[in-house]
Structure 1
Amino acid sequence: MSQTKHYLFAFFISISCAVFAQNEVIQDIEVVKLRIENTITQSEFDQKRGDYLSAKENLEKALEFAITIEDKKSQGVIYANIGKLQFTANEFDKSLASLIKAAEIQREIEDNENLAVTYSIKGSLHAGKEEYSDALGYFNSAKTLFEENDLEAKIPEITLNQGKVYFNLKDYKTAKSFFEKTIVLARKNNQKNIQSNALIFNGKSQVKLGNIKKGISLTNEGLQIAQSNKQIDNINEAFLTLSNIYKSDNDFKQAHDYLQKHVSLSDSLLAVERANRSLSGNKKYVNNYNVSEFQKLKTKVEEQESDSNLAKITTILSIALITILSLLTLSLYKNNNIRLKSNNMLQEKNDDLIEAMKRAELASKTKANFLSTVTHELRTPLYAVTGLTNMLLEEEPNEKQIPHLKSLKFSGDYLLTFINDILQINKIEANKVELDPVLFNLKTKVENVCSALNNSASDNNTKMHYEFQKGLPETYIGDNLKISQILINLIGNSIKFTKDGDIWVRVYSISNNANDYMLRFEIEDNGIGISKEKQENMFESFSQGSIQINRKYGGTGLGLSIVKGLIEILKGKIYLKSELGKGTTFFFEIPLTYAPETVKIEKEDYSKNISKLDISNIKILIVEDNKINQMITKKILNKMNLECDIVDNGEAAVEQVKQNNYNVVLMDIHMPGISGLEATKIIRTFDKELTIFALTAVTLEDKMHEFDEAGFDDIISKPFKQEDFEKKLYEVLANQKATAPIHK
């Protein structure tokens, strides 16, 4: 029994020792972590003083500690701080390597908060290298991570940097928007330094946009905050900004005064920086000498002001010349190292510019190829959907099936419109969208859109209300398709964000001059609403109310951007009123011209017109690799009693044309083997007269020159409207003599 007690006693002693040892290890680790934090803090203090060498040594020491205890989180933070320090010292390549290492660690351990900080530093690094596209990408990633982690206080610095990038890109309107957003967020989070800096840069943007008074006001507001909070860098930035603004406004006295303040403060900052970096102070006497000489010369010239008008003019010019020479002398002595470095950078500018142009050209080509591929991949199956739906509707379907087929047709048509709209964003921005005005009934058009979307509203238990002003004319000349697209987007948006509520669609006139009306459309809902902060960016591409809203409600963020572009094309304007939790109202106003409704002209049936021709010898070749599309096109032709052959690749198409007489070739573009473009080029080497249509789903705007060079007679974009296809086919066949020999 005593032996058992002895064993138990020994067991408890060993357990106690193990626990004690483990506690000691834990305490040691906590001590090391505390040491890491203190060392990082010391490094940040050293960096603020300008003692970069000590800052670097402290960070390297902290990194050693973090690696010793395998503290991955601290390692990521330290690598990011090292990268930031290297960036400050203009060691861009080393900085990038450190930041990449930091991001790898932070992604591995899912430290998203600090990963966002790393992305922010990388954004600043790329901005410093004038790689603005990469900079914006990293700033957006950082902002997204901060939003996901509810770190609103971190966002103002990001939006400030985004604004500066757009300012450097000379997109002053977008820059202004970001600076204004920064001011609001910084004020909310009591971030005086960021608020001051954003006000100063917003002042710069306003001046670039032609608002000089507003620019001066904003810059002075930023200067006052900076002076109240002793923000030396912002004070200096404000002095230089005000000098430049007054100079642009031809107020040279004010410009000179602020420039002197800027130079004086820059001298002080440079002296502190030199002291901190233990640089030689030998130039202090030279600087003081130049300032003294400047004052003597200025005084001497000012004594001549009592002379004649000519002497006064000479005085002013002399002061200006002496000022310039003195400041130049100061600059040469004080900033010799900076000047040498700048010269080296300037020598590299041309190479960088050429490289940037090459990158831009490559990006443009990549974008065009991407859009072409995406368009083809989306439109090809959509051709099958719309084609089969039309065929089923024409084959006397069961009455119960007709509503479903019409809904399918509507969805297919809308999807095609949506795809085209996505691709038209580029056209809108490039002002390449053309208007197609026709006579239409506006009241009926809006009713049809509301009716088409009513089922979606019902699914959300939402009621739709339509109000058309009494006495308002109903028929107008205008681009009714674009108006439909605008309404579908806006009403669809309201339906998406309104459950168990109401949507009101109103149309009324706000002014008219004879037959010219300015009409206002209102789409009001009592849904979730939009916050004030989000409203200003609602019309930007890929913009949503928030990440959470995007995840919950879906959407691409393109709808409102398209809407704004289309409204501007229609010479109108759009704005919104919203309150979070209470609903949203979109208003848009467009001009339309009233026209009385005339007798509708029956559409010409080109299918019947073709059947009236002598088509006994007409033969058509379909070149298409998609089996469903082959069947649809063949059935359309057979319906018109036209014979056709089918091949599924470019090589076979060339051989078929060599061996047979065809009136028309319908050539797809993307196929296995050689493309339709290449096949057409080959055919044109031995047959210049054969009619060849490009029957394709590619984006036409970016490829038009290629179609022309290849030798196509016309282009039919898939999925096509059947009447358009029949019209083009009829025009070609009517001009050919069916009995004449076919071109070979």
Structure 2
Amino acid sequence: MKRCLAHLLLLFVCSSVAHAQDTDAMKDSINDLLRKVYYQKNKVKFDNAKKLLEKAEALADSLDDDMYRVDCYNLNAQLDISFEKYNFADQYLNISDLRLTRQKYPRGNVIAKGLRSELLAERKQFYEAITLLRETKGELKKRDKAALNRLAFYEGIVHFKRKDFEQAKNIFENLSPFADKYEKYYLRSRVLTYLSEIYFNEGEYEEAGTYAANSLKISNSRDFPKLKKENHRMLSNIFEAEGDFKKAFYHLTEAEKIEHNILNPGRIVLANTAETENQELAFLKRMTRQLQNENAEQQQQVNMSKLTSVLSSALLIIISLLTISLYRNNQIKFKTNDLLLKKNLELETARDEAERAMQAKGQFLSTVSHELRTPLYAVTGLTHLLLEENPSESQKEHLKSLKFSGEYLLNFINDILQINKIEAKKLSVQKIPFNLKKVLKDVVDSLHQTAKENNNTIDLNIDRKLPKELLGDPLKLSQILINLIGNASKFTHNGKINVAAGLVNNEDEKVGIHFEVQDNGIGISKELQDTIFESFAQGSIQINRKYGGTGLGLTIVKSLLSLFDSEIKLESELGKGSTFMFDIYFDIPAIEEKPPVEETKIEVKDEFFENMHLLVVEDNKINQVITKKMLVKKGMTCDIANDGYEAIEKAKSPVYNAILMDIHMPGISGLTTTKEIRKFNKKVPIIALTAISLDENTDDFYEAGCNDVITKPFKPETFYEKIGNNILKNIEVNI
């Protein structure tokens, strides 16, 4: 008998130790989740915060730990107060209060009562809010300075919302540093933000600016978007009140960037239908009633336990012994769930890091492309100017080589940007009416000269059964064909290139078309056909040296075809030529629609430019000189604005026939400058002159008020043509 009892006691002790270890592991997981919730909340990523809270609540329920439950309910209330979901916040705080009646938890109680006071203040019940805070303060021990400090923080918020700024200021200025393990920096930044607004309302702009700047420093270092936005707005108001409109405009712009780029997409997507909200509110109310009933039953059980303590103890021992096996199984399940939770969090972190890496890559390419295009503008511009000044024959050869090198480098940059725009999903297929036969003929006509350089001919064969009009993206189709035909011309000498388009499937609303580009050039070996569509792949170093090129053309073709849900196919034999094939399905217009009529370009003679006066907005001194010389070549004159602010002032004079606007400038950008000019001058043509980057969309230029876009570096004929056309159109409109 004694031996049996000893075995039972040993088994009970071992189980207790294992249970304690598992409990500690689960508590660590909950603490880690709560830390991440506060982190996501302060970064205004409310959707992520809510999802993490659900996981924390599940673990708290598994542990049956009321303190962690209270933390979760308080956090839910904070999030709902942020979205003015006061009924939901009310219910979460009710549940928190009921849990606190069963569990003494000072920190949770202080936060719950503080949030309740903030909720009462939002409803203008200021007296009730102050009374609640003072009652809670009376229940605390005087040595609990951290809790008293936190209550004072909430009291300051109530007085602030009551517009009792003097009382709020006294409270906030006497607060001690917060000892909160989750968000001490966030709370400190909030206090400084409140003090800044108080001093601003009192007309003390210097003090207000100091507090706003200190708060902004903390929120910048810890990345608190909402507080950053509030402090930028406050600094904008302060500088505006002091008459420093340049700084005021800067801080207003920074606040609007945060509002547009972070706060709007970062807000939690909560259910917005009345039915969903009613269901959630009903659930919280049921939970509140359930806890009230549990508390009442628990009190009855306490009364009954005085009569049955001996029997209950004996029954507890028996049940414990019988359920050890079941308990161990449950602990294994908890461990598995905890492990899965950690793995999921690791995968989410890895996904976020990959996304950040892609963004960094895109930003890098955007910056590099702009930085390369800017000096290229100087190279091509100076080359053009030197060629116009009647150089000697030997100099002319060097200048032509320099021009070729500049254009080659520009094509290389364009190819890289094209691939990365596709990878970054910045390109999409349009659906506009177009004439397929015209598109094919235009592509072939544009490449005849290139073919002649290698003594090649291009034949175009179009199936007569093809519909006259289609719905699709003619520009991207042209890019695909130009790359394939250009490749065929480069690797074929004294040969023939066949371009064909034939019908493969014709339905009521869709038509399938088979395209082929065939040449009898050098061909591609079987070993290299698998890698020929990869970036920078040209078959061999010898081919690269002999024929040149970047090796990106076929990569672009493959990427563009993926937008059409199509694939490129290749048949080739070394020394006998190659055939590239692909199929694309186009929609057929339901009603006969004519493709949009292309705007005819007006040929402007040199005499037209004489005595024209332009404003050049450009911060780069070399570019200023080049642009000015190119204008002078045609008899035009110009003024120079070094930045957006100077451009706005000069544009108020009605002497300019057009404005050439650089987009990337210090201070305010060219787009913002254009918007400001359009407020007082709707007529003057504004032409964006920009080294366009990966992140830019030409639609943004037109929306800002630009009439046209010239991409740097540009061809001189394009430069003069666009300036002339825009000035002429403006003259015709105003006649």
Using CA pairs below 8 Å that are at least 6 residues apart, which structure has the higher relative contact order?
2
**TM-score w.r.t. structure 2 length?**
0.40
**TM-score w.r.t. structure 1 length?**
0.39
